[in-house]
Amino acid sequence: MDGFGSEDGDRIVWLRGGATALALSCAKGRRPRILYCGVDIDGLEAHDIALLQTRQHVHGGPARPIEPTLLNESGVGLAGGPGLLAHRQGRDWAIDLRVVSLEADSGSATLVTRDKAAGVEVRHGFAIDSASGVLTAWSEVSNLDAGALAVEWCAALCLPLDDRLTDILGFTGRWAGEFAMEHVASFTGSYLRENRAGRTSHDCYPGLYLLEPGATEERGLCAAVHLGWSGNSRLRVDRLADGSASVQSGELLLPGEIVLASGEVYRTPDLHAVWSDEGASDVTRRLHRFVLESILDRRTEARPRKVTYNTWEAVYFDHSEAKLLDLAERAASVGAERFVLDDGWFGGRRSDAAGLGDWTVSANVYPDGLARVANHVRSLGMKFGIWFEPEMVNPDSDLFRAHPDWVFETGGAEPIASRNQLTLDLTKPELGEYLFARLDAIVRELGVAYIKWDMNRDTHHPVSAGRAAMHGQTRALYQLIDRLRAAHPELEIESCSSGGARADYGILRRTDRIWTSDNNDARDRQAIQRGANHFLPLSVTGSHVGPAKCHITGRVLPMELRAATAIMGHMGIEADLSLETEGDLAILSAATALYKQHRALIHGGDYRRLDAHAAYNAIAIVAAERGEAIVSCAQVEALRESHPPRLRIAGLHPARRYRLRQVWPQRDVSLTAPSIVTEADLLGKGAQFSGAALAELGLRLPLTYPDTCLIFHLEAAT
């Protein structure tokens, strides 16, 4: 559909779906503008929202108030950060885009705007997912003139914010401490996250939540935005002195990275945004639903998420066939369904100092190849998976010796050493061919069903043929994965990057699992998973039972906690099982059985963080029809109070009665008796309570040691 309103007429287009509404003012010849975006409101009329938002001239200001546009481009004259910065060698930078045409249906729209004088055209795409209400937006800049157009910044969208959403929940972190949440209260100025890591990053996650003060998991206005992009990114919230606020995000472009010749286009990554007036957990549920139904390609949907054994912390680089055969047997005996051979199986890779890039099975370590290991794994009923780090090379490798020019240059800057490895320049087609050929061959030869695709350093100077190339690198990575998956449609891929540094919706469009963190310390993991699950559903967040003494934190934690923590994600095991006690192995077997029993619910139900006492991390997953639920409640700190608090379980049907039982640990861990465990026979046949009682009154938790995680199962009896 094209043709709309006259140049003077007010043309408003509505997109609606999943309780989200977007009203775009897009009269031909005028600046486009978002009149409303957020929770759909009954009776919201286009005329009303325009009129109700009338702004007037203020003394000392421009004659007519300047309204925000879709990109707040530099010619508009707004005080905040522009969403589009482009120029022709210093000219044509004061861009002012006017509506040219529109195509729209009820759930999506593409709007074309143009600045004729500057020779710039932009296509703005919008789509609202009818199930989750998630808005996806992008921009595509075209150069209409003869001279080259340098694009320095182009946001996917500048999104005006509801004035109640003054608080920010940001996500930062570090290696082994990903998805750390930070709360930022209202301010004037900018909240800026610039990621130059060349991957989603540990410290600048391209997503945040916006909250009205006092919002909880169950109540209050909340929103979230996320950029689906695995390269450099920028995310900023501007709160201006005029009282307005907006959020924008896009790809952080290095100097000169995007220069468009006449007719060329640059498309931003997708920005996703969602709102709810039912608290932060509803925002999360909407994002989870969107990821499960619209981001993941649904190849794995019908397959239960397999208990995954990973060799890394068991052997590191100390490989031998005998050890792997033994580990495979031990893994299968505790319930593993997939065996993933991690780093160290190829070339001269006996440490992280050599061999990276040489993707042939190491003849020194495996003189007869790896087929015996792979076949043994399969004979034990498990799938065989293997580790690659395709984008990297050790200088001490055959690949680098043969092709020293296949790595990024630094453009004259001093190279930054990191894990003895350099970033390969994937924009070189011949390198792409080499990598595809090697991965494809290994997958075929060994019957590989699963790849752990790693990427273990920041890329500081991505210079290819003298120019910045992180954009091309990220696209080339996507193409390589897409090609491999097209060749092997059954292959599953885990996205790993020194733990969780590549964990965005761009990579999730082509992978099946995220390695959430290298930190297997279950107490830390409770927090890391809580953070990660703000954007990532439990079915994709890999979570492993590590050794009793965590290799990263040195903390010794009980198997019951380690196992419970892994159950609330995509469960796996990453420890030398020959070093675990018989007692712990029995607990682990019971845990994998419990995970298998409940994984359809854990991965398919509605997730919510419970508003609980600060010493606890509590979540609930409620089945779609509310007939069943599982609740995990981990005590991660000692209590200040003498008695444990109540746990209020939200999300149940208030009028139905539920049989409540404790399914983990499979023993009474109350420090004194009687407790609710004995009184309500929680380890036996349980007791029935109404959903309303569990939500409003809650259950008094038993007194336990810290580092205890209780898992409850609830089944509707009526």
Q: Which residue out of 96, 518, 521, 606 is catalytically annotated?
A: 518
Select from 388, 583, 580 the least CA-distant residue to 494: 388
Q: 36 vs 312, which CB is nearer to ligand GLA? A: 312
309 lies in the site for ligand GLA, by CB under 6 A: no
Q: Which of 69, 72, 427, 498 binds ligand GLA (CB under 6 A)?
A: 498
387 lies in the site for ligand GLA, by CB under 6 A: yes
Is 497:486 a contact under the CB 8 Å cutoff?
no
Q: How far is the CB of 324 from ligand GLA (least distance, A)?
A: 15
Look at the chain and count its residues: 718
Residues 599-638 that bind ligand GLA (CB under 6 A): none
Q: Quick count: other Cβ atoms within 10 Å of Cβ 613?
A: 18
312 lies in the site for ligand GLA, by CB under 6 A: yes
- Which part of the chain contacts ligand GLA (CB under 6 A), choosing from 111-119, 216-224, 249-257, 494-502? 494-502
Q: Which of 342, 391, 396, 524 binds ligand GLA (CB under 6 A)?
A: 342
Q: How far is the CB of 577 from ligand GLA (least distance, A)?
A: 17
Residues 221-240 that bind ligand GLA (CB under 6 A): none
- Which part of the chain contacts ligand GLA (CB under 6 A), choosing from 13-21, 103-111, 492-500, 617-625? 492-500
Burial zone of 413 (CB within 10 Å; 0-12 exposed, 13-18 middle, 19+ buried): exposed
Q: How far is the CB of 312 from ligand GLA (least distance, A)?
A: 5
Instruction: Determine if residue 630 is left, alpha or beta; phi over 0 gives left, psi from -120 to 50 gives alpha, anything else beta.
Output: beta
Q: How far is the CB of 517 from ligand GLA (least distance, A)?
A: 8
- Which part of the chain contacts ligand GLA (CB under 6 A), choosing from 92-100, 249-257, 493-501, 528-536? 493-501
Q: Strand, helix or coil at 402?
A: helix
Q: How far is the CB of 389 from ligand GLA (least distance, A)?
A: 7
Q: How far is the CB of 492 from ligand GLA (least distance, A)?
A: 16
Minimal CB distance residue for ligand GLA: 343
Give me 73's structure tokens.
């481009």
Does residue 396 have an active-site annotation? no
- Which part of the chain contacts ligand GLA (CB under 6 A), choosing from 70-78, 136-144, 204-212, 491-499? 491-499
Calculate the CA 546 to chain-centre distance: 22
Residues 135-174 that bind ligand GLA (CB under 6 A): none
Q: 275 vs 388, which CB is nearer to ligand GLA? A: 388
Select from 208, 202, 196, 181 the least CA-distant residue to 234: 196
Q: 235 vs 443, which CB is nearer to ligand GLA? A: 443
Burial zone of 4 (CB within 10 Å; 0-12 exposed, 13-18 middle, 19+ buried): middle
Q: How far is the CB of 507 from ligand GLA (least distance, A)?
A: 14
Q: How many amino acids of this chain bind ligand GLA (CB under 6 A)?
A: 11
394 lies in the site for ligand GLA, by CB under 6 A: no
Q: Which of 198, 355, 499, 569 binds ligand GLA (CB under 6 A)?
A: 499
Q: How far is the CB of 549 from ligand GLA (least distance, A)?
A: 18
Give me the residue label for tokens 């325009």: 50
Is 334:581 a contact under the CB 8 Å cutoff?
no
- Which part of the chain contacts ligand GLA (CB under 6 A), choosing from 188-196, 406-414, 474-482, 496-504? 496-504
Q: Strand, helix or coil at 16?
A: strand
Q: Quick count: other Cβ atoms within 10 Å of Cβ 302?
A: 6
Q: 336 vs 716, which CB is nearer to ligand GLA? A: 336
Q: How far is the CB of 518 from ligand GLA (least distance, A)?
A: 5
Does residue 115 have an active-site annotation? no
Q: How far is the CB of 511 from ligand GLA (least distance, A)?
A: 14
Residues 518-557 that bind ligand GLA (CB under 6 A): 518
H-helix or E-strand containing 22? strand 20-25
Cis upstream peptide for 645 (omega within 30°): no
Q: 268 vs 516, which CB is nearer to ligand GLA? A: 516
Q: Quick count: other Cβ atoms within 10 Å of Cβ 281?
A: 25
Is 441:448 a contact under the CB 8 Å cutoff?
no
Instruction: Determine if residue 45 is left, alpha or beta; phi over 0 gives left, psi from -120 to 50 gives alpha, anything else beta.
Output: beta
Give me 117's structure tokens.
């004088």
Q: Strand, helix or coil at 599?
A: helix
How far apart are the C-alpha atoms of 73 and 76, rounded to whole Å?
6
Q: 266 vs 312, which CB is nearer to ligand GLA? A: 312
Q: 344 vs 665, which CB is nearer to ligand GLA? A: 344
Q: Which residue out of 277, 342, 396, 454 is catalytically annotated?
A: 454
Q: Which of 152, 270, 343, 494 binds ligand GLA (CB under 6 A)?
A: 343
CA torsion through residues 471, 528, 660, 596, sign: positive
Q: Quick count: other Cβ atoms within 10 Å of Cβ 353?
A: 16
496 lies in the site for ligand GLA, by CB under 6 A: yes
36 lies in the site for ligand GLA, by CB under 6 A: no
Q: How far is the CB of 447 from ligand GLA (least distance, A)?
A: 21
Q: 129 vs 396, which CB is nearer to ligand GLA? A: 396
Q: Which of 456, 519, 543, 704 binds ligand GLA (CB under 6 A)?
A: 456
Q: 230 vs 276, which CB is nearer to ligand GLA? A: 230
How far apart are the C-alpha atoms of 607 and 262, rounded to whole Å?
49
How far apart are the C-alpha atoms of 263 and 141, rounded to whole Å?
10
Q: Which of 167, 178, 454, 512 binds ligand GLA (CB under 6 A)?
A: 454
Q: 259 vs 552, which CB is nearer to ligand GLA? A: 552
Is 571:595 a contact under the CB 8 Å cutoff?
yes
> How far is CA 696 from each of CA 132, 177, 373, 505, 659, rounded to the nearest angstrom?
27, 34, 54, 36, 17
Is 518:561 a contact under the CB 8 Å cutoff?
no
Q: 25 vs 456, which CB is nearer to ligand GLA? A: 456
**Per-residue 3-state assignment (H helix, E strand, C coil) for 269-335:** CEEEEEEECECHHHHHHHHHHHHHHHHCCCCCCCCCCCCEEECHHHHCCCCCHHHHHHHHHHHHHCC
Q: How far is the CB of 5 from ligand GLA (least distance, A)?
A: 54
Residues sharing a CB contact under 8 Å with residue 576, sequence separation 6 or more, in sequence order: 313, 314, 315, 327, 547
Q: Nearest 10 degrees: CA dihedral of 88, 89, 93, 97?
A: 10
Q: 503 vs 682, which CB is nearer to ligand GLA? A: 503
Q: How far is the CB of 540 from ligand GLA (least distance, A)?
A: 16
Give me 651's structure tokens.
């999300």
Q: 290 vs 312, which CB is nearer to ligand GLA? A: 312
Residues sharing a CB contact under 8 Å with residue 420, sequence separation 6 or more, in sequence order: 352, 353, 354, 394, 395, 396
Question: What positions carry a catalytic annotation?
Answer: 454, 518
Tell me which residues touch ligand GLA (CB under 6 A). Answer: 312, 342-343, 387, 454, 456, 496, 498-499, 515, 518
